[in-house]
């Protein structure tokens, strides 16, 4: 079948008419794309926080309302600040931890559990064992951590009679360690890794 010349011309005119809509679709249908981008941002943030800090129950009703009631130019930043504030304010109580299997204790374990007889090597050895026992997760927020991105936590402080027995030890991520040892945690926002990473991920 051979198409007539007028049919071909008409097709080209239609394509020429529709092409700009395709090329500039993000501008032409800005409202639609913005709406999708907004929904995507909040959904992605929720998934990200669930994966990185699973123990913290972020209040997404609050986050949603901050996002919707502020001008688009600052809404994302205000949301991220609120996430950091919620992270700081999360209530945390230190609890006695699980004992480890007696098979992995060593000859001088009891002696070195007394802070007076401990050494840096002893503490490093204990930290490695605690990390394994706690599945490499922060005790406060459950963020995945490693030996060099975590701090050993004493459930009961040395000043109040705490020892280095495994029941008195856990591990925290760098942020949670800062928060629980700060007199004014609300001032920490700008120093927290969580805030830094969220800004890097969501603000361009």
Tell me if 141 contacts Zn ion by CB under 5 A. Answer: yes
DSSP element (H, E) containing 45 = helix 30-52
**End-to-end Cα, the chain, rounded Å:** 53
DSSP element (H, E) containing 124 = helix 120-133
The correct pick among 45, 49, 84, 138 for binding Zn ion (CB under 5 A) is 138
CB 142 within 8 A of CB 54: yes
The correct pick among 80, 88, 176, 194 for binding Zn ion (CB under 5 A) is 176
Helix (H, G, I), strand (E, B) or coil at 150: strand
Tell me if 76 contacts Zn ion by CB under 5 A. Answer: no
CB of 182 to Zn ion, least distance (A): 14
* # of chain residues touching Zn ion (CB under 5 A): 6
Helix (H, G, I), strand (E, B) or coil at 197: helix
Place of tokens 């997404």: 60
Question: Which string of x and - marks every residue 143-162 that binds Zn ion (by CB under 5 A)?
Answer: x-------------------
Nearer to Zn ion, 29 or 196 (CB): 196
The site for Zn ion (CB under 5 A) is made up of: 138, 140-141, 143, 173, 176
């Amino acid at each position: 079948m051979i198409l007539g010349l007028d049919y071909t011309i008409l097709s080209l005119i239609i394509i020429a008419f529709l092409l700009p809509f395709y090329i500039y679709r993000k501008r032409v249908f800005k409202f639609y794309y913005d709406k999708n981008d907004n929904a995507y941002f909040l959904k992605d943030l929720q998934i990200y926080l669930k994966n990185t800090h699973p123990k913290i129950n972020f209040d997404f009703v609050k986050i949603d309302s901050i996002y919707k009631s502020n001008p688009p130019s600052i809404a994302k930043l205000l949301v991220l600040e609120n996430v950091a504030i919620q992270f700081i304010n999360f209530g945390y109580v230190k609890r006695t931890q699980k004992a480890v299997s007696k098979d992995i204790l060593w000859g001088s374990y009891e002696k070195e559990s007394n802070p007076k007889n401990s050494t840096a090597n002893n503490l490093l050895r204990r930290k490695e064992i605690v990390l394994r026992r706690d599945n490499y997760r922060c005790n406060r927020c459950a963020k995945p951590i490693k030996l060099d991105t975590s701090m050993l936590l004493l459930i009961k402080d040395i000043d109040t009679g705490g020892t280095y027995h495994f029941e008195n030890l856990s591990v925290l991520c760098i942020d949670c360690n800062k928060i629980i040892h700060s007199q004014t945690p609300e001032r920490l926002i700008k120093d927290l890794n969580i805030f830094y990473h969220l800004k890097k991920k969501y603000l361009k």
